[in-house]
Amino acid sequence: MINRYAPKDMAALFSDVHRFDTMLEVEILAAEGLAELGVLPANEVAQLRLRRPVVDAAFVAEVDEREAVTNHDTAAFVDVVQSRIGMPEGAWVHYGLTSSDVVDTALCVTLTRAMDIVIDEATKFRDALSVRARESIDWPITGRTHGMHAEPTTYGAKFALFALQVERDLVRARAARTGIAVGKLSGAVGTFSNIDPAVEAYVCARLGLSPVPATQVIARDRHAEVLYACAALGTTMEQFALEVRHLARTEVGEAQEPFAAGQKGSSAMPHKRNPILSERLCGLARVLRGYLATGLENVALWHERDISHSSVERIVLPDALQLCVYMLRKATSLASGLVLFPQRALENLEVTSLGLVYSQSVLLALVESGLARDEAYRIVQSAARRSVEEGRAFRRVVEEDPAVTLDEAALDRVFDAQRMVAHRGRFTDALNW
């Protein structure tokens, strides 16, 4: 991931230092598990932890140098570890294991920790949306379908629906976290031919993982589920950001991204306050969905394994998780700092729309007065057309229509935005986490 979109804590989690350090812990735990079974000499295995090499930039460089000879990164890693620990104790490193035992289990440790961060950040995003929902649940705004004025809703209803969607994403993310918190140390094709299943249980228990049946590799539908959780969150953030972009348009003017002191909206036009963060979130969501597609491609492997997934995962898993956390933090900031213009929203609702958002209410009132629905529909449709063509308030046109027999009190009730959003509390009542 390029530095621009790589949060430092997530970048560290996917660094070579962290990767090799986690692999080393798997190796030592496996040897300790074998020693507990009496397969390896306990006194020599104890030296592995006492002489555990420090994994730093120099260690990584040494593995890279060795890989130039072995053309196998895990073999190079084992060679360097054994060399630094020394013999005879170093001989017990990687005893009875195949590369995927170490690499896959270590990767699952990292992905589990990464998902913990994703879940934490998604929770913050959900909660920020919830705060804004409760704050603005009583503020009317024009609801739009097909991009056209429809009927009144409220700002708070919009925020609440986004928060509820994030909550569903959290359910998916927690499931993905459970699905990836697994390990395997079952040998070349997963049959425990050279290692006891008790070793797998020992290592997984100490890493916070669950042992699972596997071929030579852990099934990749688990990794695809992680990518789906990230892509789903990205799509929710995109939906929220797209709404902000639409409401921020000059002719709408119902919301605006926070604008910091000294910020410039355009290099050429000083008046501009462009929704750049929302646009960035919309663009990056496409990248997350692309990573999901490659993750799904990785599920089908030849027989007990091939390595067609490996090169892909080195890119998409770190990038997707870093990008997801970056986006979540930005989306939370956007939700918390979004500037709302309820007075402009009210003007758009009552004036810009000419009051046409009340057309269904007029229709129903006419039906209640005794007209057939189709007849009432034609009367309202004609009045709406005249309102637009003449640029006059819809209520005035309706009042002048001899076919409309509604009195003033009935019309007041019909053209009342508060009546139409009287049940708005149902949105915030649903925010019950």
pLDDT tens digit sequence for 255-268: 999 877 777 777 66
Q: Give pLDDT, residue 262.
A: 73
d(CA 59, CA 365) in angstroms, rounded, equals 78
Are 314 and 175 members of one domain?
yes
Here the contacts of 78-86 (C-beta below 8 Å, separation 24 or greater) are 78/27, 80/53, 81/24, 81/27, 81/53, 84/51, 84/53, 84/59, 85/47, 85/48, 85/51, 85/52, 85/53, 86/51
pTM exceeds cut of 0.85 = yes
The pLDDT value recorded for residue 301 is: 95
pLDDT for residue 309: 94
pLDDT for residue 371:
93
pLDDT for the residue numbered 259: 78
Beta bridge partners of 141: 153
Count how many domains the chain has.
Answer: 3
Same domain, 44 and 151: no
Residue ending a domain, choose from 293, 320, 343: 343
Domain endpoint, select from 56, 78, 95: 95
Q: Which residues are part of the catalytic machinery?
A: 146, 266
- Check residue 144 and give its pLDDT: 96
User: Exposure string (b/e) for 395-410, b if CB count within 10 Å is 16 or more?
Assistant: bebbeebeebebeeeb
**What was the pLDDT predicted at 250?**
93
Amino acid 263: pLDDT:
77
pLDDT of residue 353: 86
Please check whether residues 113 and 155 belong to one and the same domain.
yes
pLDDT at 1: 81
State the pLDDT at residue 383: 94
Residue 291 placed within a domain: yes
Which domain, by its residues, includes 217?
99-255+273-343
Residues of the chain with pLDDT under 70: 267-268
225 & 298 share domain? yes
